[in-house]
Amino acid sequence: MAHSNGPVGPGLLIELEREAEVPLHEQVERSVRENIQAGRLAAGTRLPSSRALASELGISRGVVTEAYSQLAAEGYLITRQGAPVRVARTVRASAARPPARSMLPSFPLNFHPGLPDLAGFPRDRWLRSLRAAWRQAPIDAVGYPDPRGVPALRQALAEYLGRVRGAAAEPEQLMVCTGFTQAFSLLCRWLADRGVDRIALEDPGWHPHRLIIEQAGLEVAPVAVDADGLRIDDLLSTEASAAVVTPAHQFPCGAVLSRERRAALIEWAEEGERLIIEDDFDAEYRYDGNGLGALQGLAPDRVAYIGSASKRLTPGMRLGWALLPPWLAWSLIQAKAVEDSGSEAIGQLALHDFIERGELDRHIRRMRLRYQHRREALLEALARRLPQTRVSAGAAGLYELVELPEGSDEAALVTAAAARGVGIEGLALHRFNPTGSPGLVLGFGCLSEPAIDRGIGLVAEALQEVEDRTI
């Protein structure tokens, strides 16, 4: 039904649809505007007079006049009594239009260490909670939300964190935010504003910690980890004013921060009025019964605890929570309020419903079993197909640190695996000290047991290829 009237003036292509709901003058207006924006009508170009264009298009002159004056009011055209209509001098065309693709890399077999089982997310149960939230929410629940997070969710989370993580959780000290990332980014920038210039990080440690700290304009002080977690002796010599730790399950080495180190870390914080930032990303997934409560419970005044739904439910939900020392909570909530006016409200109410119904506990119990089996499948596949590697992490979480034989070319292996459709991460990505041994951080959360076996088979092939090349 679209009638192209062909080029009318220089580069002017106008399409009219006579039976459309949109009035003709608006169609002319839209066409001319698009011609200008696409660069087909350059700045300064003279347009046909309204009389000429109307006769060309077979429409009344008033329609063209109306379109021209709207475009003049918007600044696209210059219309002056007696002078020809021209494209305004200030108009700039925009670039060509590439397609709207996702910028995330995608692999048929993805051993991403941060991914839970996406297919295992209980969509129907979640949808039930969402429906309940929409049906029960008071009218103003769709207005601007409480910047700290919806009160009902903070209450439910405080109860959950106290019960499951042994945290000293006050609903008033909880801040709901866009995943772990936003809470940590706000914290880093708050520290930077107060003159802090250095934050201690585990080495190796989760690479995005570093990106966020550096984007906040802070320096990173890497501190080595061993089988007992962060080496506190090394921490003491850093002059850092804050430290980020993963005490329940070190990323990527898998250590649990020992009792002595927990005490020493808290002492370090108490003495210098320093801050401990606890990243509690996957503590609920332990398969050996060696789980420890959150560090935050020991020193709620010195620890900013951050957790999220990303590994517990799904990262696409972008829900995180920070349990903050009272002296810090208000500043951070205020910063969040200014920065994004609070997080989406109905998803928070749905999570509240989901926790209250016991669905979160049920889901984590079910997934714990599933991940345990996937982990066993990974260890088995590694033992059979890559016997030259060694696995060092404890029985927990969604990933394993796999040590490669000394001298292996980790980067070449990652590339060769990618060429086979297998996404793996090298340990180097998460390392500050460049002299460490090569390794891989393999996530098993989002792959079925057969896919894990197939994937490790392809990694073995890739390693063989890399070794053949270097001989």
Extract the runs of DSSP E, i.e. beta strands, from 63-217. 77-78, 86-87, 109-110, 174-177, 198-203
- Judged by beta carbon, residue 399 or residue 410, the one nearer a copy of itself is 399
Distance CA(21)–CA(23), nearest Å, equals 6
User: Which H/E stretch holds residue 252?
Assistant: none
| DSSP three-state, residue 430 | helix
- Smallest gap, in angstroms, from Cβ of residue 261 to a copy of itself? 9
Cβ proximity to a copy of itself, 45 vs 389, nearer residue: 45
% helix, strand, coil for the chain, step of 5:
45, 15, 40
**Nearest-approach distance from CB 396 to a copy of itself, in angstroms:** 14
- Between 43 and 418, whose beta carbon lies closer to a copy of itself? 43
Kindly tell me which of 181 and 241 has the beta carbon lying closer to a copy of itself: 181
CB of 133 to a copy of itself, least distance (A): 10
- The whole-angstrom separation of Cα 158 and Cα 3 is 62
CB of 408 to a copy of itself, least distance (A): 28
- Quote the least distance from Cβ 438 to a copy of itself, whole Å: 26
What are the tokens at 232?
Answer: 């506190």
370 CB burial (10 A radius; 0-12, 13-18, 19+): middle
Judged by CB, which is closer to a copy of itself: 228, or 467? 228
Closest CA to 221 of 229, 236, 134: 236
Nearer to a copy of itself, 334 or 388 (CB): 334
Nearer to a copy of itself by C-beta: 290 or 415?
290
Smallest gap from residue 192 Cβ to a copy of itself (A):
10
The rounded radius of gyration (Å) of the Cα atoms in the chain is 29
Closest among 461, 470, 409 to 438, alpha carbons compared: 409
Provide, rounded to whole angstroms, the least separation between the CB of residue 100 and a copy of itself.
3
In three-state secondary structure terms, 315 is helix
CA–CA gap between residue 47 and residue 44 (Å, rounded): 9
